[in-house]
Structure 1
Amino acid sequence: MGIGSQVISVIFRLFELIAGSVVAGMVGEYLHYVSEAHDSPSHDMVYTVAIAGISIVVSLVCMPPLKYAFYGFLLDAALFICWMVAFGLLVNLKGGVGCESDWCYSNWGYYWGGYYNYYPVSSVTAQGVGNSACGKLRAAIAWNFIGGWFWLLSALLGLYVVLRFRNEKKKNASLDQPGNHTIEVGNSKQSGEMSSLGKEYTGATDASTTVAHL
Structure 2
Amino acid sequence: MPVISRIVSMGLRACELGFAGVIAGIVGSQLHDHRSGDGMPLARFIYIEIVAGISLLLALLWLLPFAAGFAHWPVDIFLSFAWFAAFGLLVEWIGGSTCSGDTFSWSQIGIHSFCGRYRASEAFSFLSAIFWLLSALVGLWFIHREGRKRTTVVAPAGEGA
Point out the structure with max Rg over C-alpha: 1
User: What TM-score, normalized by structure 1, do the two folds share?
Assistant: 0.61
Q: Distance in 2 between matches of 1:39 and 1:89?
A: 16
1:158 maps to which residue?
A: 139
8 Å CA contact 1:70–1:162 kept in 2: the answer is yes
Classify 1:159/1:66 alpha carbon distance in 2 versus 1 (closer, same or farther; 3 Å): farther
Classify 1:153/1:135 alpha carbon distance in 2 versus 1 (closer, same or farther; 3 Å): same
Q: Distance in 1 between matches of 2:93 and 2:27?
A: 13
What stretches of structure 2 of length at least 5 have no aligned partner?
101-111
Alignment deviations for residues 6-36 of structure 1 (CA, whole Å, 9 cap, x no partner) = 110011001101110011101012212334x
8 Å CA contact 2:34–2:42 kept in 1: the answer is no
Classify 1:139/1:38 alpha carbon distance in 2 versus 1 (closer, same or farther; 3 Å): closer
2:117 maps to which residue?
A: 136
Q: Distance in 2 between matches of 1:67 and 1:88?
A: 31
User: What are the equivalent positions in structure 2 for 1:24-43 lying under 5 Å apart?
Assistant: 24-35=24-35, 42-43=42-43
The equivalent position to 1:169 in structure 2, one of 143, 150, 155, is 150
2:127 maps to which residue?
A: 146
Q: Distance in 1 between matches of 2:151 and 2:141?
A: 16
Q: Distance in 2 between matches of 1:17 and 1:68?
A: 15
User: What are the equivalent positions in structure 2 for 1:1-214 lying under 5 Å apart?
Assistant: 2-35=2-35, 42-64=42-64, 69-95=69-95, 99-100=99-100, 132-171=113-152, 174-175=153-154
Q: How much identity, in percent, do the aligned residues show? A: 35
8 Å CA contact 2:61–2:67 kept in 1: the answer is no
Cα RMSD for the two superposed structures:
2.7
Classify 1:33/1:39 alpha carbon distance in 2 versus 1 (closer, same or farther; 3 Å): farther
Alignment deviations for residues 102-122 of structure 1 (CA, whole Å, 9 cap, x no partner) = xxxxxxxxxxxxxxxxxxxxx
Alignment deviations for residues 81-129 of structure 1 (CA, whole Å, 9 cap, x no partner) = 0000000101111229x714xxxxxxxxxxxxxxxxxxxxxxxxxxxxx
Higher helix fraction: Structure 1 or Structure 2?
A: 1
Runs of 4+ with >3 A deviation: 37-41, 64-69
Range with greater deviation from structure 2 (63-72 or 140-149):
63-72
Alignment deviations for residues 67-89 of structure 1 (CA, whole Å, 9 cap, x no partner) = 76311111101111000000010
1:118 maps to which residue?
A: none
More contact order relative to length (CA 8 Å, sep ≥ 6)? 2
How many corresponding residue pairs? 148
Q: Structure 2 counterpart of 1:166, which letter? A: G
